[in-house]
Structures are given as structure tokens and as C-alpha cells.
Amino acid sequence: MKKLLTLVFAVALAFSLSSVSFAQDAPAMDKDKKEMKKDEKAEKKAAKKKKMKKEKKEEMKKDEMKKDDQPK
């Protein structure tokens, strides 16, 4: 009986230690995912900003052309 109790205790101890070591890897994965999302968001924001700048530049050209076409 004593051997069985020792074996159960050893298994429980091993299981608890292994679950702790595996649990440490999970937050690292979440951190990588968060970093990836942050990078993707920054890239999208930069692309959108570039697109808006280009559209504004084209709009300014159109306005200038309209001013040039008006009779004086």
C-alpha cells in the first residue's frame, strides 16, 4: 500500500511539473500573435496613409487644372 501511495504521489508530482512547464510556452505564443497583429496593423495603417496622400495629391492636381481652365 505504501508503494502504491508513493507511486501515485510521484505521478501527481510529475504531472503537475510538466503542466507548469507546458503552460509557460503558451503566453509566449500569445505574445507572438499580438506582435504579429500589431505589425500587420502598422503596415495597413502605413499603406492607408500612403493611399490617402496619393489621392489628396491627385485631387490637388485636378483642382489646379480646373483653375487653369477657367477664363480670366
**What's this model's pTM, rounded to 2 decimal places?**
0.45
Checking if the pLDDT of 22 tops 60, the result is: yes
CA 21 to chain centre: 25
Nearest to 45 by CA among 34, 57, 53, 56: 53
What is the percentage of the chain residues whose pLDDT exceeds 90? Answer: 44
Q: Please tell me the total number of residues recorded for the chain in this structure.
A: 72
DSSP 8-state code for residue 70: S
> Per-residue pLDDT tens for 44-65?
999 999 999 999 888 888 877 7
Report the C-alpha gap between 7 and 14 in whole angstroms.
Answer: 10
Domain ranges of the chain: 1-72
